[in-house]
A and B are shown apart, each in its own frame.
Chain A
Amino acid sequence: GAGVSQSPRYKVAKRGQDVALRCDPISGHVSLFWYQQALGQGPEFLTYFQNEAQLDKSGLPSDRFFAERPEGSVSTLKIQRTQQEDSAVYLCASSLGSRGGNTIYFGEGSWLTVV
């Protein structure tokens, strides 16, 4: 596609509910990242995929957070038993290569509010 596409754009979840956020990266991009951006903060790294392999998940805040990219293209970030502190914008990003130095393109984010 022309850019990184994320859905849903906005999600309101009741505390305890499970949510799934989808990311469709730019076609052919090898690297895919998920970031969490709380209000008034910069984005914080959650996890990184190179094709279908999840090479770094050090930023996932708890075992309630799970991400997958089974075919090396679309990725899903799943949050189980949501809590209020999970409220944030979840940004997906992709880049063409697997080495540093490639431009990273961001999607518009999925705005999650947990009530």
Chain B
Amino acid sequence: EDKVVQSPLSLVVHEGDTVTLNCSYEVTNFRSLLWYKQEKKAPTFLFMLTSSGIEKKSGRLSSILDKKELFSILNITATQTGDSAIYLCAVTNTGTASKLTFGTGTRLQVTL
């Protein structure tokens, strides 16, 4: 059974800080790893990673995958209060198309 573990479970930082969120996984026949941001509504897609060592970047957010060590990190630089959310990591395998196995998420709170 595929498994995703995220750490830390929760995090409180001050605006302007840089944070790193961790995601480790165990997947049979890995296909991809995805990051989502969830506020009090739909999870919104951030990144999909399939190859090791290639950083994906979008504004202040970036992510990288290590397929040898089976983990990914999500970095947020110069955090803002609007970054406060739950960040979900999920994996897919080559079996059922696009079925996501999620971790429990990291709850990030950015304070002034």
Contacts and interface: CB of A to CB of B under 8 A. Distances in A.
A102 B101 CA distance: 15
Contacts of A41: 104-105
Contact of B45 (A42, A48, A91, A103): A103
A31 B45 contact: no
Interface in A15-35: 31, 33, 35
A18 to B, nearest CB: 25
B94 to A, nearest CB: 7
A45 B100 contact: yes
Interface size class of A (residues with CB under 8 A): 20 to 34
A47 to B, nearest CB: 10
Contacts of B31: 100-101
Nearest to A98: B97
A104 B98 contact: yes
Contacts of B101: 45
A50 B96 CA distance: 10
Given A91-B42, A104-B45, A108-B42, A43 B98 contact: no
A42 B41 contact: no
Interface string B1-39: 000100000000000000000000000000110101000
Interface of B: 4, 31-32, 34, 36, 41-45, 48, 50, 88, 90, 92, 94, 96-105
Interface of A: 3-4, 31, 33, 35, 40-45, 48, 50, 55-56, 91, 93, 95, 97-109
Which 9 pairs between the two chains have the least Cβ-Cβ distance? A42-B102, A106-B42, A108-B41, A108-B42, A100-B31, A106-B43, A42-B104, A56-B96, A43-B102
9 contacts: A31-B97, A42-B90, A42-B104, A43-B100, A44-B102, A48-B96, A55-B96, A100-B98, A109-B41
